[in-house]
């Protein structure tokens, strides 16, 4: 079974402060990890994925297989970063290794960046 | 620029009614998904489909069914709505072997 845990329901920081949103996962195989974000009154959208090793809007996330973690980090938070953030894992493989892309999501963390 | 469209933004239904939630995508994606989103519980998968007329149960399929007669359309059906099905319902699609979903804007269903 695969599981994603985001231990913080709420996280508040001040503008310019570093922010880290925690994500831990449980999966026996080699997972694909994602971060999704939902801004107020907008649809859920992909923020970043670990295989791309990219930085989006200043956010980065490193997959730590030893600690089974995929924490999202930003060195200097901005007010526009205030949103709901979900960590997600894809580990489902069909016949022949085809990925059906089934994602398991964490409980979500609401980030509030104060001015 | 809308790629995944959910037919209703808000719905109010009575207990025991049969409810249809519709989702259409225009990206020719093979995979489609229905999730419900609840505070503190995150997104939970109800059903998904990886091809026309194919469906697989997710983590919480009880009380729901789905239909996929055409590639672009994936319907979620509540056979007999109950108050514990009051929730935000999200549809998403993805390409086979692709990474990442495209989500619809959601349908907030209230069952009274």
Rounded to whole angstroms, the Cα distance separating B99 from B104 reads: 17
pLDDT band at A100 (very low <50, low <70, confident <90, very high): low
Q: What is the CATH number of domain B4-111?
A: 2.60.40.10
Rounded to whole angstroms, the Cα distance separating A100 from A29 reads: 15
Residue of A nearest to B106 (CA): A43
Rounded to whole angstroms, the Cα distance separating A41 from A44 reads: 10
Domain boundaries defined on chain A = 3-114
Q: State pLDDT tens for residues B23-69.
A: 999 999 999 999 999 998 999 999 999 889 999 999 999 999 999 99
Tokens of B81: 């709505």
Domain boundaries defined on chain B = 4-111
Q: Pick the closest to residue B93 from B7, B19, B3, B20 (CA basis).
A: B3
CA–CA distance from A88 to each of A39, A49, B5, B104 (Å)? 17, 9, 22, 17
**Is residue A95 over pLDDT 70?**
no
Second CATH level (architecture) for the domain A3-114: Sandwich (2.60)
B94/A105 Cβ within 8 A: no
DSSP H helical ranges for A1-115: none
Q: Does A30 touch chain B (CB under 8 A)?
A: no
In chain B, which residues touch A (CB < 8 A)?
31, 33, 35, 40-45, 48, 50, 56, 58, 90, 92, 94-101, 103-106
**Is residue A99 over pLDDT 60?**
no
pLDDT value for A56: 83
For residue B51, the Cα-to-chain-centroid distance in whole angstroms is: 15
């Amino acid at each position: 079974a695969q599981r994603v845990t985001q231990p913080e329901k709420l996280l508040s920081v001040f503008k310019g402060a570093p922010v880290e949103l925690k994500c831990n996962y449980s999966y026996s195989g080699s997972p694909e990890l994602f971060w999704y974000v939902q801004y107020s009154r907008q649809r859920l959208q992909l923020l970043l994925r670990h295989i791309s090793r990219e930085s989006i809007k200043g956010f980065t996330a490193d997959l730590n297989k030893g600690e089974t973690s995929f924490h999202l980090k930003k060195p200097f938070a901005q007010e526009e970063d205030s949103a709901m953030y979900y960590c997600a894992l894809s580990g489902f493989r069909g016949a022949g290794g085809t990925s059906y892309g089934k994602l398991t999501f964490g409980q979500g963390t609401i980030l509030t960046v104060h001015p | 620029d809308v790629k995944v469209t959910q037919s209703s933004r808000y719905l109010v239904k009575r207990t025991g009614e049969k409810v249809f939630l519709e989702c259409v995508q225009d990206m020719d994606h093979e995979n489609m998904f229905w999730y419900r989103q609840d505070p503190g519980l995150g997104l939970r998968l109800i059903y998904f489909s990886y091809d026309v007329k194919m469906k697989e149960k997710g983590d919480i399929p009880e009380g729901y069914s789905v239909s996929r007669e055409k590639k672009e359309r994936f319907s979620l059906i509540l056979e007999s709505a109950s108050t514990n099905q009051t929730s935000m319902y999200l549809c998403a699609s993805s390409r086979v072997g692709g990474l990442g979903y495209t989500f619809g804007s959601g349908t907030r269903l209230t069952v009274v």
